[in-house]
């Protein structure tokens, strides 16, 4: 009952989001996508080992891109993302959007390595390759001659290909001396409405349709609580036995056709380890009902063009509020020591019990959590 009250409270007041439109217009394409993002970094540990690796240079492209991205979505947590990171990128010629999340492996702190550098660099390079790529097959004008159509610029990049390219970029980053990260990348095609994804590790995403789970990405693990991950080993220690080394080609891929009103939630394990899918649905439903009432009041006496502009702004605010409420609720759940979490249930399935039926891991330590929410709108 207490968790339900917390869930309801987390979905109440609309988030004060800037009126600047952030939706990725795809007209005259039939699909538009509205995207919101929120995050909360893990609280600093005063007993943690001192980080030896150098941060990115303040004037580097990664830092400039990172700070600009964080300023767009303006999470209540400010710039404290922790070991997670994300990206959201419109693709070539507004053919769709690409977004993803990455969770830096915190165990590298014990070796004096900042885990956030790997995840930030991975998301930066994923953004970079997505920006110049098409979400699907490059579009051509059928009225053009064959030679003209052959000159169409750009190429199609799938999430799996993007992940491999981004990983290669991280390996070449001299400021990322070592580290590991899980990753989940998605593209949404504005012409066909097709979602494609590539996931490696225990980050993931859920597709919600009509208040039901259409699809939920399963975690990829070597064994319980050891997710598959991309890694870069320190050159000074050629045989670093504590790191898992997986290939981006091990990523699980998926494809499906989206519909109007579908909600896609991409997240790091700070959400999925603490919040059940049914609770994600309930939070999104509560926020949606609140905004539906707000839309109904504000759309009276509006002409058609003004009403469309208002709806776009409300949809931007809707997804941003969903993302923030999901992060808020995950943080509430982390602090609830009596609540049974998805992580604890997974541990129980692996036979991790104390005598008396208590699970070995009765609660999770504080963890970073990052959420990206996308809403699909289809022109009628």
Domains, in order of start, for the chain = 2-139+152-378 (3.60.40.10)
The helix (H) or strand (E) run that includes residue 31 is: strand 31-40
Secondary structure of residue 212 in the 3-state scheme? strand
| Cα 93 to the center of its chain, rounded Å | 23
- CA 297, CA 152: separation in Å to the nearest integer? 46
pLDDT digits (tens, 9 = 90+) for 185-213: 999 999 999 999 999 999 999 999 999 99
- CA 358, CA 318: separation in Å to the nearest integer? 39
pLDDT at 209: 97
Taking alpha carbons only, the member of 127, 35, 41 closest to residue 72 is 35
pLDDT at 354: 37
Structure-token pair, residue 251 = 């990523």
Sign of CA dihedral 169, 175, 180, 185: negative
Angle at 36 between CA 30 and CA 42, to 5 degrees: 150
Report yes or no: 173 and 236 within 8 Å, Cβ to Cβ: no
Taking alpha carbons only, the member of 32, 24, 28, 131 closest to residue 87 is 131
- CA 262, CA 269: separation in Å to the nearest integer? 22
- CA 324, CA 15: separation in Å to the nearest integer? 8
The helix (H) or strand (E) run that includes residue 204 is: strand 204-209
Q: Running along the chain, 380 residues long, what does each successive block of 10 average in pLDDT?
A: 55 48 55 96 69 82 96 85 96 95 88 91 98 86 50 81 97 93 97 97 97 96 90 71 82 98 97 96 96 71 61 92 96 88 86 48 66 92
101-129 residues labelled b (16+ CB within 10 A) or e (exposed): bbbbbbebbebebbbbbbbbbbbbbbbbb
Q: Where are the alpha helices (DSSP H) in 230-341?
A: 269-272, 277-298, 304-334
pLDDT at 44: 67
* 305 to 43, 73, 168, 236, 271: CA distances (angstroms): 45, 26, 45, 61, 38
What is the distance between the terminal CA atoms of the chain, rounded to a whole angstrom?
41
């Amino acid at each position: 009952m207490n968790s339900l009250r917390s869930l309801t409270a987390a979905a109440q007041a609309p988030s004060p989001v800037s009126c600047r439109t952030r939706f990725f217009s795809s007209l005259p394409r039939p699909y538009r996508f509205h995207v919101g993002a929120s995050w909360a970094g893990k609280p600093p540990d005063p007993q943690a080992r001192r980080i030896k690796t150098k941060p990115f240079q303040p004037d580097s492209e990664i830092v400039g891109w990172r700070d600009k991205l964080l300023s767009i979505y303006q999470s209540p947590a400010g710039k404290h993302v922790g070991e997670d990171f994300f990206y959201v990128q419109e693709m070539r010629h507004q053919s769709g959007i690409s977004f993803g999340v990455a969770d830096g492996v915190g165990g590298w702190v014990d070796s004096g390595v900042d885990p956030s550098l790997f995840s930030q660099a991975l998301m930066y390079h994923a953004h970079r390759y997505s920006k110049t790529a098409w979400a699907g097959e490059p579009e051509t004008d059928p009225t053009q001659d064959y030679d003209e159509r052959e000159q169409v610029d750009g190429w199609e990049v799938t999430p799996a290909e993007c992940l491999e390219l981004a990983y290669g970029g991280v390996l070449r980053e001299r400021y990322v001396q070592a580290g590991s990260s899980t990753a989940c990348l998605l593209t949404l095609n504005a012409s066909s409405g097709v979602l494609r994804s590539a996931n490696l590790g225990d980050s993931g995403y859920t597709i919600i349709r009509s208040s039901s789970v259409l699809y939920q990405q399963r975690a990829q693990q070597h064994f319980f609580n050891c997710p598959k991950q991309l890694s870069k080993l320190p050159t000074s220690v050629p045989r670093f036995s504590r790191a898992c080394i997986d290939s981006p080609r091990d990523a699980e891929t998926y494809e499906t056709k989206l519909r109007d009103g579908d909600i896609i939630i991409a997240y790091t394990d700070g959400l999925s380890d603490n919040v059940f899918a049914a609770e994600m649905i309930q939070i999104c439903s509560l926020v949606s009902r609140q905004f539906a009432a707000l839309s109904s009041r504000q759309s009276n006496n509006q002409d058609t063009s003004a009403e469309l502009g208002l709806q776009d702004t409300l949809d931007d605010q809707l997804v941003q509020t969903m993302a923030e409420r999901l992060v808020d609720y995950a943080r509430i759940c982390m602090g609830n020591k009596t609540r049974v979490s998805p992580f604890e249930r997974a541990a129980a399935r692996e036979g991790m019990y104390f005598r008396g039926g208590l699970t070995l891991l009765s609660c999770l330590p504080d963890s970073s959590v990052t959420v990206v929410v996308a809403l699909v709108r289809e022109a009628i």
